C-alpha cells in the first residue's frame, strides 16, 4: 500500500491550528452563540457600498479575479501617498505572512517574536522550519528593546511586532517604533503588523520612508472595514521586497467579489469613521460591565478589550468557559501573565447585554469550581 511521503518537517509538526473557530465550537455546543465577541471581527458590518459592490461582482463570479488586484492596489497607493509598486494585496494578513515567511525563512533560520503574540505568525514560521525565539511582554506590552536585543543575539531574519497589540490591545507611540527600526541588527526585517491601527489614537502609525528596506507594514480590511470573511489584506514595503512576492504568491487567490468589496470600502471613509465611533462606544461598554463585576480592563487601541480577571490563567479560563457555556464567545491570551485576562471584542448594545447577563454567572461559577492541581 502506498502512503504520501511527507517531508521530515511536516512529519515533525503537531496536527494543530492556531485557533478553534467559533463555528467549530457552535457545532460542539449544538447551538449558536448569542454574542460573537471572540474573533475581533467588526459586528458593525461592512460599508453598504461594499456589500452592493460584492453583490454586483458576484454576477461575474465565473471569471477569475484580476491577478494583480490592479484597481485596489492603485487605490491603496493613492490612499497612502505612495506608488503601486509599494503595495501587495493578498488573502488577509495571514496569507501575506505565509508568503513572507516562505520567501525569507529556511529551516533553522532565526525569527523573533513576543511570547503570547499572534500565533498564526508562529504557525507559518514553524511550517517552514524556522527557529522561533520569544521575548516576554513588559507591562502588558510587547518589549521593542528586548526584541531588538534578542534579534541581534540570534541573527534573526524576521522580527514580528504588532502595534497596536493583539491580544492585549496595548500600543506604542511612533517614536518607539522608529527607535526599534534603528536598533534592528543588519539583515533583519521588521514585520510591523498594523491590523488594528484604524482604531488607535491619531499619530500612532509612524511616518516611515516607503523605500525603507528594513520594514514591511501589514494592513487589513478585516477589522475596521468589516470584511473579515472576504479575506483582503495588504502590505506596504520597498518595491524590491514587494516584487519578490510575485515569485511565490497565489496569483489568483483574490476573488472578484473581495477586490470589489475592498475597493468600495476604501472609498467609504465615512463608514469607517462610523465604525470607529461605534467601536469606541463598545469598548466603553465592556469596561463598564467589567467594573460592575469588580474587574479592571487594560487601555485599548483596538476593537477589543482585555479584561483582567484578577487571578491566574486557570481562573481566567474558567471564566471564559463559563461565558462560552452561557452563549458568549470570547478568547484569552495563552501565555502567563497575559492569561489572567479574557479578550472581548467591542460589540453592539445587544451583544453587550448578553455579556452583562453572562459575566456575573461565569464569575460565580469560576469561584465555585475546585482548584486545579
Residues 220 and 134 placed together within one structural domain of the fold? yes
pLDDT of residue 233 exceeding 60: yes
What are the tens digits of pLDDT across the range 150-187? Answer: 999 999 999 999 999 999 999 999 999 999 999 999 99
Please tell me the predicted confidence (pLDDT) of residue 369: 74
What are the tens digits of pLDDT across the range 109-121? Answer: 999 999 999 999 9
> Percent of the chain scored above 90 by pLDDT?
92
Residues in Cβ contact with 295 at an 8 Å cutoff, skipping those fewer than 6 apart: 307, 308, 309, 310
Q: Per the structure block, which three cell numbers stand in for 260?
A: 470589489
Strand pairing partners for 342?
Answer: 307
Backbone phi and psi for residue 158, each to the nearest 5 degrees, phi listed first:
-130, 145
Query: Can you tell me the distance from the alpha carbon of 49 to that of 217, in angstroms, rounded to the nearest whole number?
Result: 27
What are the tens digits of pLDDT across the range 61-88? Answer: 999 999 999 999 999 999 999 999 999 9
CB–CB of 108/131 below 8 Å? Answer: yes
Residues 101 and 212 placed together within one structural domain of the fold? yes
Q: The CATH number of the domain where 358 resides is what?
A: 3.90.1150.10
* Residue given cell 503574540 in the structure block: 117
- 3-class DSSP state for residue 257? helix
Boundary (domain end) residue, out of 267, 297, 319: 267
Q: The CATH number of the domain where 186 resides is what?
A: 3.40.640.10
What are the tens digits of pLDDT across the range 347-361? Answer: 999 999 999 999 999
Please tell me the predicted confidence (pLDDT) of residue 14: 87
CB–CB of 297/290 below 8 Å? Answer: yes
Residues 217 and 275 placed together within one structural domain of the fold? no
**Average pLDDT score, the chain:** 96
Residues 32 and 116 placed together within one structural domain of the fold? no
Please tell me the predicted confidence (pLDDT) of residue 1: 62
Render 267-287 in DSSP notation, one character per residue.
H-HHHHHHHHHHHHHHHHHHH
pLDDT of residue 52 exceeding 80: yes
Backbone phi and psi for residue 345, each to the nearest 5 degrees, phi listed first:
-75, 140
Please tell me the predicted confidence (pLDDT) of residue 158: 98
Asked if the structure places residue 300 within a domain, the reply is yes
Residues 263 and 274 placed together within one structural domain of the fold? no
- C-alpha atoms less than 13 angstroms from C-alpha of 78 in its C-beta half-sphere: 8
Query: Can you tell me the distance from the alpha carbon of 292 to that of 49, in angstroms, rounded to the nearest whole number?
Result: 38
pLDDT of residue 373 exceeding 60: no
Number of domains in the chain: 2
Asked if the structure places residue 14 within a domain, the reply is no
Other beta carbons within 10 Å of 32: 13
pLDDT of residue 371 exceeding 80: no
CB–CB of 250/61 below 8 Å? Answer: no
Query: Can you tell me the distance from the alpha carbon of 103 to that of 272, in angstroms, rounded to the nearest whole number?
Result: 33
Q: Per the structure block, which three cell numbers stand in for 121?
A: 505568525
Listed residue (203, 198, 204) closest to 219, CA to CA: 198
Residues 232 and 334 placed together within one structural domain of the fold? no
Boundary (domain end) residue, out of 241, 267, 293: 267
Strands (DSSP E) along 96-212, which ranges? 110-114, 131-135, 158-162, 189-193
- 3-class DSSP state for residue 205? coil
Query: Can you tell me the distance from the alpha carbon of 288 to that of 296, in angstroms, rounded to the nearest whole number?
Result: 9
Residues 218 and 276 placed together within one structural domain of the fold? no
Residue 195: domain span: 48-267
Boundary (domain end) residue, out of 207, 239, 267: 267
* Residue given cell 449558536 in the structure block: 32
Cis peptide before 337 (omega within 30 of 0): yes
Asked if the structure places residue 7 within a domain, the reply is no
Asked if the structure places residue 306 within a domain, the reply is yes
Amino acid at each position: 500500500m502506498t502512503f504520501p511521503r511527507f517531508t521530515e518537517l511536516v512529519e515533525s509538526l503537531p496536527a494543530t491550528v492556531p485557533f478553534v473557530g467559533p463555528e467549530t465550537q457552535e457545532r460542539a455546543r449544538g447551538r449558536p452563540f448569542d454574542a460573537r465577541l471572540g474573533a475581533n471581527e467588526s459586528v458593525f458590518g461592512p460599508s453598504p457600498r461594499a456589500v452592493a459592490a460584492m453583490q454586483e461582482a458576484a454576477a461575474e463570479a465565473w471569471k477569475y479575479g484580476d491577478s494583480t488586484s490592479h484597481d485596489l492596489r492603485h487605490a491603496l497607493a493613492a490612499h497612502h501617498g505612495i506608488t503601486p509598486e509599494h503595495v501587495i494585496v493578498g488573502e488577509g494578513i495571514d496569507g501575506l505572512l505565509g508568503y513572507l515567511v516562505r520567501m525569507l525563512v529556511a529551516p533553522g533560520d532565526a525569527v523573533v517574536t513576543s511570547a503570547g503574540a499572534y500565533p498564526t505568525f508562529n504557525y507559518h514560521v514553524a511550517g517552514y522550519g524556522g527557529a522561533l525565539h520569544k521575548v516576554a511582554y513588559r507591562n502588558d506590552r510587547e518589549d521593542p528593546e528586548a526584541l531588538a536585543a534578542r534579534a541581534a543575539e540570534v541573527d534573526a531574519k524576521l522580527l514580528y511586532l504588532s502595534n497596536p497589540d493583539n491580544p492585549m490591545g496595548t500600543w506604542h507611540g511612533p517614536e518607539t517604533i522608529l527607535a526599534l527600526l534603528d536598533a534592528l541588527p543588519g539583515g533583519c526585517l521588521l514585520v510591523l503588523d498594523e491590523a488594528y491601527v484604524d482604531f488607535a489614537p491619531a499619530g500612532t502609525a509612524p511616518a516611515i520612508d516607503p523605500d525603507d528596506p528594513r520594514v514591511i507594514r501589514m494592513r487589513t480590511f478585516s477589522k475596521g472595514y468589516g470584511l473579515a470573511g472576504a479575506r483582503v489584506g495588504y502590505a506596504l514595503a520597498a518595491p524590491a521586497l514587494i516584487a519578490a512576492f510575485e515569485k511565490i504568491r497565489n496569483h489568483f487567490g483574490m476573488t472578484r467579489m473581495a477586490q470589489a468589496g475592498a475597493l468600495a470600502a476604501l472609498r467609504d471613509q465615512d463608514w469607517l469613521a462610523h465604525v470607529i465611533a461605534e467601536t469606541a462606544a463598545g469598548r466603553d461598554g465592556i469596561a463598564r460591565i467589567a467594573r460592575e463585576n469588580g474587574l479592571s480592563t487594560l487601555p485599548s487601541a483596538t476593537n477589543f478589550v482585555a479584561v483582567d480577571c484578577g487571578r491566574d490563567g486557570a481562573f481566567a479560563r474558567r471564566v471564559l468557559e463559563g461565558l462560552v457555556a452561557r452563549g458568549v464567545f470570547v478568547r484569552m491570551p495563552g501565555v502567563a501573565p497575559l492569561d489572567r485576562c479574557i479578550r472581548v471584542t467591542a460589540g453592539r448594545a445587544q451583544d453587550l447585554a448578553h455579556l452583562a447577563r453572562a459575566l456575573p454567572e461565569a464569575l460565580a461559577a469560576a469561584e465555585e469550581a475546585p482548584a486545579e492541581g
